[in-house]
A = this chain, B = another copy of it.
Amino acid sequence: MSSTLGKFKIALVQLKVGADKGANLASARKLVIEAGAKGAKLVVLPECFNSPYGTQYFSKYAEEMSESGDKKSETVQALSEMAAKAGVYLVGGSIPEREAESGKLYNTSTVYDSSGTMVAKHRKVHLFDIDVPGKIRFIESEVLSAGDRGTVFDTPWGRIGLGICYDLRFPELAMIAARREGIKAMIYPGAFNMTTGPLHWELLLRARAVDNMIYVAGCGPARDLEASYHAWGHSTLVGPDGQVVAGSGFEETIVYGDMETSAIDGIREAIPIYKQRRFDVYPDVADEDSKYTKLQASKQFDDIADYTLKFGTINSKDSSISLVNSVLTKQVKVNKVF
């Protein structure tokens, strides 16, 4: 997506989520349509917006879905309809997904364009497993499987990257999406808790923004003191200069903020980190052609060539495998930085 519109409004719907899926979907629909009516072009719902958050709930609330958004999933149908009705791009928070073939459960975010077509699906890559005896135990991986890739999608306002909650703690997804995929923003539906929320939610959103000079939006559910899990709320939009553009407290609300391509261009011109990274000193996690590895490898190219020359005739699969193994081992061993 090379040409993009200059400015658009994003809305983060800090939804109050309860145990009734139908009621959650109805509340979401009402607020998504309200956001569209107020001019938002991209609307975001929180993590686990159609069910309570907790390993005990995922299986019960899980739905099967396909990439094309067919009729299997009640929530996919509802999200598709509300995106089209509101005329907005919609990041449908996340929901528990059951994969039809394997029966595996995932924490999955789906994205829709303004006609209601599903344009992206992200399965949470980093599952939160913690077990400190006597203190806290929360093992997502007991019931969830993890996604195995980063996700970006295109909009008329530019490409956008997607992560879910704990994914926010791992900088690589945003680094790769920003450097290689050219995203304008990372969006994280999330549900940080009352400990990690005040400690780290805003800091991590700001860190991803300043290191990549992109917009970063985090959208959490409103706090429900009657639920077993108390979410931090505080849905927040951060600008490409790392400063908070708009945010909220705990209550159910919609956070609005403008995203402007010129702000991204401005900060990258003022502080030109995109031109000054030293991929001769350290590898670029975003470089699929791995220039760093090539550079390092080229330094030992002659050694390797000498080795293969000594090898002589390759006349069996075994000798071929042995040769390749030697070359690869030698090649990857040179990837030392410090």
* Interface residues of A, Cβ cutoff 8 Å to B: 125-130, 132, 135-136, 146, 148-152, 166, 169-173, 175-177, 180-181, 196, 199-200, 203-204, 206-207, 210-211, 241-243, 269-273, 275-278, 280-283, 285-290, 293-294, 297, 301, 304-306, 308-309, 311-317, 320-321, 323-325, 327-328, 331-333, 335-338
Contact assessment for A172 and B271 in the assembled complex, using a CB-CB cutoff below 8 Å? no
**Least Cβ–Cβ distance between A245 and chain B, in angstroms:** 14
Give A204 to B148 CA distance when docked, in angstroms: 29
Contact of A148 among B166, B180, B280, B283 (CB under 8 A): B280
Residue of B at shortest CB range from A298?
B328
Give A265 to B315 CA distance when docked, in angstroms: 54
Contact assessment for B181 and A130 in the assembled complex, using a CB-CB cutoff below 8 Å? no
- Copy tally for this chain in the complex stands at 2
Give A243 to B313 CA distance when docked, in angstroms: 61
Residues of B within 8 A of A150 (CB): 281-282, 337-338
Contact assessment for B242 and A337 in the assembled complex, using a CB-CB cutoff below 8 Å? no
Contact assessment for A169 and B273 in the assembled complex, using a CB-CB cutoff below 8 Å? yes
Give A113 to B204 CA distance when docked, in angstroms: 35
**Least Cβ–Cβ distance between A173 and chain B, in angstroms:** 7
Residues of B within 8 A of A271 (CB): 130, 169, 196
10 A-B contacts (beta carbon < 8 Å):
A125-B278, A149-B338, A152-B338, A203-B203, A283-B283, A294-B332, A305-B324, A309-B316, A312-B315, A314-B314
Contact assessment for B169 and A171 in the assembled complex, using a CB-CB cutoff below 8 Å? no
Contact assessment for B314 and A132 in the assembled complex, using a CB-CB cutoff below 8 Å? no
Closest 5 A/B residue pairs (Cβ): A207-B207, A309-B320, A172-B282, A290-B332, A288-B336
Give A301 to B326 CA distance when docked, in angstroms: 12
Contact assessment for B207 and A200 in the assembled complex, using a CB-CB cutoff below 8 Å? no
**Least Cβ–Cβ distance between A9 and chain B, in angstroms:** 24
Residues of B within 8 A of A270 (CB): 130, 132, 135-136
Give A210 to B68 CA distance when docked, in angstroms: 38
Residue of B at shortest CB range from A152?
B338
Give A281 to B272 CA distance when docked, in angstroms: 28
Given A132-B270, A171-B171, A338-B181; A305-B320 close (CB under 8 Å): yes
Residues of B within 8 A of A136 (CB): 270
Given A129-B272, A308-B314; A338-B180 close (CB under 8 Å): yes
**Least Cβ–Cβ distance between A296 and chain B, in angstroms:** 10
Contact assessment for B278 and A126 in the assembled complex, using a CB-CB cutoff below 8 Å? yes
Residues of B within 8 A of A241 (CB): 199-200
Contact assessment for A332 and B289 in the assembled complex, using a CB-CB cutoff below 8 Å? yes
Contact assessment for B206 and A203 in the assembled complex, using a CB-CB cutoff below 8 Å? yes
Contact assessment for A301 and B277 in the assembled complex, using a CB-CB cutoff below 8 Å? no
Give A176 to B129 CA distance when docked, in angstroms: 24
Residues of B within 8 A of A151 (CB): 338
Contact assessment for B276 and A126 in the assembled complex, using a CB-CB cutoff below 8 Å? yes
Residue of B at shortest CB range from A312?
B314
Given A210-B200, A243-B199; A305-B289 close (CB under 8 Å): no
